[in-house]
Amino acid sequence: MKNYRSVDMIFRQKENDPGEAFLNAFFRNPMLVTAAGANLIAGGCITLSNGIIMTLLLLILLPAVGLAASAGKSAGAGRARPGLYALASAGVMLALALVCNAVSRGSADALGVFLPLTALDTLVFVRLVRSAPEMTAAEGLAAGAGTACAFAVLALPIAFIRGLLGGGILLGRYAFEGINALQSPFFGFILCGAAIGIFKKLAMGGEPYREEDED
């Protein structure tokens, strides 16, 4: 049976330089291939402000995790490694959320259950699996930034559309009565699928991700 390229396969590839790591993460990242992180968009990005906060958190968290993973590979902590990294990413999320809440009251809390899920999301977690490549610190940073940028390209338009149609919010103001159901995860999933299809069509000429037979 033919499988689509798995998350593991992507991160097993060795990058050559930070620029290539960034581009590879941007165009062929796990979000586009296996929809890792789609739950954060489908569930959490229900308004543009939620989308912006989520994107900011990932723009800081993903490079930080990439950096930690590149350092942690050599340190080695055996089976405890995923747990320690999960705790560290949760700590980073806590600090970032408190900063966001201090700057704009309740902005991070508005992400609901998707705030903690960011720390344990597959986007973050795949960098910690055993098959993750040995990356240098610069490559780890660049790959994290590339993944976060691809997330932003998808998340922000979707969050805007859901805020507009679902919440009736335009430019931070209630413009009309929206259809609340469109802020539910089902509409997020459908928009996310359509957006990834459009992104792939525009960025890669619609070339499907196909993988050779895998075990």
Partner 1 sequence: MLGSVGSFIVYALTAVFIQNLPLAGAVPFGMINTYARKPKRLVAVSVMISVFSLLTALTVLPLDYIAPLWSSPVAIRAFLLCAAAVLWYLAASALFSRLHEVDELAEQLPVAALNGTVLAMPLIMDINAISDPLRVCGLAAGSGPGFALAVWLLMCGLRRADNPDIPEALRGTPVMLIYTGLLALGFEAFGHGISLFPA
Site of interaction with partner 1 (CB under 8 A): 2-4, 6-7, 30, 32-39, 42-43, 79-80, 82-84, 86-87, 90-91, 93-94, 97-98, 101, 108-117, 119-123, 125, 128-129, 184-190, 192-194, 196-198, 200-201, 206, 208-209
- Burial (CB < 10 A; 0-12, 13-18, 19+), residue 79, is exposed
Give backbone dihedrals phi and psi of 181, rounded to 5 degrees, phi first.
Answer: -60, -25
Nearer to partner 1, 73 or 200 (CB): 200
Nearer to partner 1, 17 or 109 (CB): 109
**Max Cα distance, the chain (Å):** 55
CB 108 within 8 A of CB 96: yes
Q: State how far the Cα of 68 lies from the Cα of 128, in Å rounded to an integer.
A: 9
CB of 19 to partner 1, least distance (A): 25
CB of 147 to partner 1, least distance (A): 12
Nearer to partner 1, 18 or 124 (CB): 124
Nearer to partner 1, 18 or 126 (CB): 126
3-state helix, strand, coil in the chain (%, to 5): 70, 0, 25
